């Protein structure tokens, strides 16, 4: 954390040197003393400080300067730093101006030049001002700041991205926070540039694509080596487990993740069925721990980076990445999980990200305190969301297509839901329309038993409507079932007793091996897998064991 700043401004170089020297000698251990020889150059530098979110404790400014007087400078500077203390350096002839400034810019003090000896005529005053400032000083936030509109889908996308990639950030709502407007003004950009991402070094990006933010943050998206023992696609629980156990076993391992480590599990507010965590843990906590473990074993993680295509070149499996680069491996693990199933309902797409969310980020919960939230879905993920959001919302209503929750939800979760007074479950129900000008305001629900529709006010609609596998990038490479899940091991043989087309080894595919030797699959994306965090982790670990057998046979 940089030290707070004392700014001194004077056009006379001798005076400037003297005041700077005296201030540094007395306060240099706790404050940074910065100086400028004109109001204009000082203002420019003060703006840069503001962009870097550094604190200014005191402006000590000469009143009589050409082009911009001390008072004129302070008028502008305090718009950026309203809490900074202000003192004018004056000659006897400027006393009147200094007294007037007490009213116009609320200066805290004026000091007569010369101030010798400083022990008597300078430090006492400055000590007082700094003590006063320290008493109400809260150290500024040091991470990335995002300025945007509450209902802007792109603002929410950026916040979600930062959160899921564990980047500390502060959200500044342009509609409700004056500091947001102030910071935006400092960048010189207008409202049309939102969302704006301001970085700790003071640089900023207006309305940036996610890839640009990732780039600026220095997230790793390029592989260091052309070839690896093992490449894993997808950093959900299955991919993370495989990467950790693969690297721990000595395999040179690359893990490629399209969005953020954690996969679907990263969106879970509380995983209660994971071995060893009797009170549960959040998905992001699990992901953070797994990423630290993977890095410790030397796994190289590229995120955000997607695999677009894979081709087989003799014993090598070659991955084409989204940025046009290519990387090779001896064995490949597909752990690309599943994607959210979209609902085709009038009005919904327009409000996606503006009160309507697929698998809502937990960061949204606080925004809906005291609101009426509707949740579509009856599986565990919907149940967890209901429990989590119920701590903030006034009322949660779960809309379930079936006759009861029991068909789709774990018993422990159903019990928790029943015991929570502000959660209601509506069975035989589905959403048929979403309304609102620029954010979700109401939804229309159809009761499939009575065929009656009702339109109700809704602060948010959270959708947990199941998923489809992430396997478009594998088209034409490995065998998939009718729904797109990747088939492996005995399931390949069960569907067709002949060995897969092009299969060369003199053995059947291993349990988690696909129709292409050396390409394995684990987790939710696998045909008939158990689905879930535990199974994903288990399959990831098991895949490594089978990959060793495969590599040994080459
Ligand atoms: C809100 C929520 C709560 C849940 N709660 C629980 C729970 O309490 N207990 C439980 O057991 N399960 C829970 N689940 C289910 C569990 O999270 C999943 O079963 C598990 O995450 C599956 O792991 P996976 O590694 O197979 O795939 P995923 O978690 O889906 O991860 C796959 C990853 O691959 C990436 N990817 C996809 N395509 C590419 C590509 N081409 N290139 C690079 N990367 C790619 C994706 O971005 C994703 O990060 C929950 C799910 C959700 C959504």
Nearest to 461 by CA among 384, 364, 366, 338: 364
pLDDT truncated to tens, each residue of the chain (554 aa)?
A: 789 999 999 999 999 999 999 999 999 999 999 999 999 999 999 999 999 999 999 999 999 998 999 999 999 999 999 999 999 998 887 888 878 888 788 889 888 888 889 998 899 999 999 999 998 888 888 899 999 998 888 998 999 899 989 898 999 999 999 999 999 999 999 999 999 999 999 999 999 999 899 999 999 999 999 999 999 999 999 999 999 999 999 999 999 999 999 999 998 888 988 999 888 899 989 999 999 999 999 999 999 999 999 999 999 999 999 999 999 999 999 999 998 889 999 999 999 888 999 988 776 777 788 899 999 999 998 999 999 999 999 999 999 999 999 888 999 999 999 999 999 999 999 999 999 998 999 999 999 999 999 999 999 999 998 889 999 999 999 999 999 999 999 999 998 889 999 899 999 999 999 999 999 999 999 999 988 899 999 999 999 999 999 999 99
Pocket test for ligand 1, best of 265, 285, 329, 474 (most atoms within 8 A of CB): 265
239 C-alpha vs ligand 1 centroid, how far in Å? Answer: 9
Tokens of 250: 């000595």
> Which of 257, 336, 386, 539 is the pocket-test mutation for ligand 1 (most atoms within 8 Å of CB)?
336
* Residue nearest atom 18 of ligand 1, based on CA coordinates: 532
Tokens (6 digits) for 186 = 């400092």
Query: Atom 7 in ligand 1: which residue has the minimum CA distance?
Result: 271
Q: Which two tokens stand for residue 135?
A: 């008493």
Strand partners, 311: 318
CB 42 within 8 A of CB 54: no
From the centroid of its chain, how far is CA 505?
44
Mutate to test the pocket of ligand 1, among 268, 463, 529 (most ligand atoms within 8 A of CB): 268
How far, in Å, are 22, 23, 120, 122, 246 from residue 115 at the CA level? Answer: 10, 12, 8, 6, 69
pTM for this prediction: 0.81
**182 alpha carbon to ligand 1 midpoint, in Å?**
39
**From 365, 533, 540, mutation site for ligand 1 pocket: most ligand atoms within 8 A of C-beta:** 533
Report CA(44)–ligand 1 centroid distance (Å).
47
271 lines ligand 1 (CB under 6 A): yes
From the CA of 524, give the closest atom in ligand 1: 26
Ligand 1 proximity of 310 Cβ (cutoff 6 Å):
no
| C-beta neighbour count of 88 within 10 angstroms | 29
Q: How far is the CA of 460 from the centre of ligand 1 (A)?
A: 23
* Phi and psi at residue 444, to the nearest 5°: -110, 130
What are the residues facing 374 on neighbouring strands?
A: 397, 461
């Amino acid at each position: 954390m940089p030290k707070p700043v004392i700014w001194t401004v004077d056009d006379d170089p001798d005076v400037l040197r003297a005041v700077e020297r005296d201030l540094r000698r007395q306060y240099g251990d706790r404050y940074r003393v910065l100086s400028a020889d004109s109001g204009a150059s000082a203002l420019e530098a003060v703006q840069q400080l503001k962009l870097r979110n550094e604190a200014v404790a005191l402006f000590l400014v000469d009143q009589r300067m050409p082009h911009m007087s001390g008072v004129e400078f302070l008028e502008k500077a305090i718009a950026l730093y309203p809490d900074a203390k202000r003192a004018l350096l004056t000659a006897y002839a400027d006393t009147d101006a200094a007294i007037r400034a007490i009213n116009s810019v609320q200066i805290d003090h004026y000091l007569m030049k010369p101030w010798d000896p400083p022990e008597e005529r300078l430090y006492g005053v400055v000590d007082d001002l700094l003590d006063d400032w320290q008493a109400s000083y809260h150290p500024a936030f040091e991470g990335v700041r995002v300025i945007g509109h509450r209902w802007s889908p792109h603002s929410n996308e950026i916040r979600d991205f930062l959160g899921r990639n564990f980047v500390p950030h502060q959200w500044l709502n342009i509609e409700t926070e004056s500091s947001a407007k102030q910071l935006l003004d400092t960048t010189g950009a207008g409202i049309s540039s939102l969302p704006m991402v301001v970085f700790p070094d003071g640089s900023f990006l207006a309305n940036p694509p996610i890839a640009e933010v990732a780039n600026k943050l220095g997230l790793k998206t390029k592989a260091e080596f052309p070839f690896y023992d093992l490449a894993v696609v997808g950093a959900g629980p299955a991919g993370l487990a495989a990467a950790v156990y693969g690297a721990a076993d000595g395999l040179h391992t690359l893990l490629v993740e399209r969005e953020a480590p954690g996969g679907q599990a990263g969106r879970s507010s509380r995983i209660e069925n994971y071995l060893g965590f009797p009170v549960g843990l959040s998905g992001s906590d699990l992901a953070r721990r797994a990423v630290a473990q993977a890095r410790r074993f030397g796994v190289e993680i590229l995120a955000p980076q997607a695999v677009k295509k894979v081709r087989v070149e003799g014993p090598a499996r070659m991955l084409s990445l989204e940025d046009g680069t290519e990387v090779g491996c001896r064995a490949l693990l597909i752990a690309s999980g599943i994607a959210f199933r979209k609902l085709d309902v009038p009005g919904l797409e327009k409000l996606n990200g503006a009160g309507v969310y697929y698998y809502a980020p937990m960061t949204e919960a606080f925004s809906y305190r005291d609101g009426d939230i509707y949740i579509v879905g009856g599986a565990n993920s919907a149940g967890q969301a209901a429990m989590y959001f119920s701590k903030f919302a006034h009322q949660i209503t779960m809309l379930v297509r079936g006759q009861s929750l029991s068909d789709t939800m774990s018993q422990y979760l159903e019990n928790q839901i029943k015991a929570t007074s502000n959660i209601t479950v509506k069975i035989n129900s589905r959403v048929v329309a979403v309304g609102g000008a620029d954010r979700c305001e109401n939804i229309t629900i159809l009761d499939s038993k009575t065929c009656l529709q009702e339109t109700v006010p809704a602060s948010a609609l959270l959708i947990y409507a199941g998923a489809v596998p992430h396997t478009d990038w594998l088209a034409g490479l490995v065998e998939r079932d009718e729904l797109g899940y990747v088939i492996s091991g005995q399931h390949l043989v069960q569907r067709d007793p002949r060995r897969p087309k092009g299969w060369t080894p003199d053995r059947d595919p291993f349990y988690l091996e696909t129709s292409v030797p050396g390409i394995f699959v684990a987790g939710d994306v696998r045909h008939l897998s158990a689905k879930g965090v535990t199974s994903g982790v288990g399959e990831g670990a098991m895949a490594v064991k089978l990959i060793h057998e495969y590599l040994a046979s080459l």
